[in-house]
Amino acid sequence: MTMVALFAVGCSGSKTTENTRQGVITLTHVNDFEELVNQKQIRVIDVRTPHEYAEGHIAGAENIDVQKPDFIERLRPKGTIAVYCRTGRRSHQAAMLIAEQGHNVYDLGGGIMAWMQSGKPTVR
């Protein structure tokens, strides 16, 4: 069983970190996630379906559907990864899978809905 510790970090609780035995998941506020997206060394993954991705996504994001059985194989995790979905449920599932592989991952709290509500741009 994975031991999990949750604690708030950063100002105004904008990040929550979940430590697993293998990796760390950082639940990230929209503004912090935007900073990550702007860093070229971060791999941004939209874990929604291809149809949802086509409706609008964060610029530069790759689309790898977490609900597909070959998600981890297609992802081939390496380096720092940031994930998001529509509201945060599927991205948390993806983050757990990635952390189980021993990688640290950032998860956009509230998903692309929070991103858009904050006035952040999307592309089609």
pLDDT class of 3 with cuts at 50, 70, 90 = very low
Q: Is residue 5 part of a domain?
A: no
Q: Give catalytic residues, as residue numbers.
A: 85
Which are the contacts of 6, defined by CB distance < 8 A and separation ≥ 6?
16, 17, 18
Q: Is residue 9 part of a domain?
A: no
Q: Is residue 84 part of a domain?
A: yes
**Residue 88 · residue 107 · CB < 8 Å:** yes
Q: Is residue 7 part of a domain?
A: no
Structure confidence at residue 39 (pLDDT): 86
Structure confidence at residue 77 (pLDDT): 81
**Residue 62 · residue 44 · CB < 8 Å:** yes
Q: Is residue 87 part of a domain?
A: yes
| CATH number (domain holding residue 110) | 3.40.250.10
**Residue 53 · residue 84 · CB < 8 Å:** no
- How high is the mean pLDDT of the chain? 86
pTM of the full structure: 0.85
The 10s digit of each residue's pLDDT in 9-45 is 333 345 667 666 688 999 999 999 999 999 888 999 9
Which are the contacts of 25, defined by CB distance < 8 A and separation ≥ 6?
17, 18, 92, 95, 96, 98, 99, 104, 105, 106, 107
Q: Over range 100-104, report the average pLDDT.
A: 90
Q: Which candidate, 41, 25, 31, 37, places its Cα nearest to that of 11?
A: 31
Using CA atoms, how far apart are residues 110 and 94, in angstroms rounded to an integer? 14
Using CA atoms, how far apart are residues 117 and 72, in angstroms rounded to an integer? 30
Structure confidence at residue 21 (pLDDT): 63
**Residue 1 pLDDT more than 70?**
no
Range of the domain at 30: 14-117
The number of folded domains in the chain is: 1
- Percent of the chain clearing pLDDT 90 (strictly above): 73
pLDDT class of 78 with cuts at 50, 70, 90 = confident
One-character DSSP codes across 31-46: HHHHHHHTSTTEEEEE
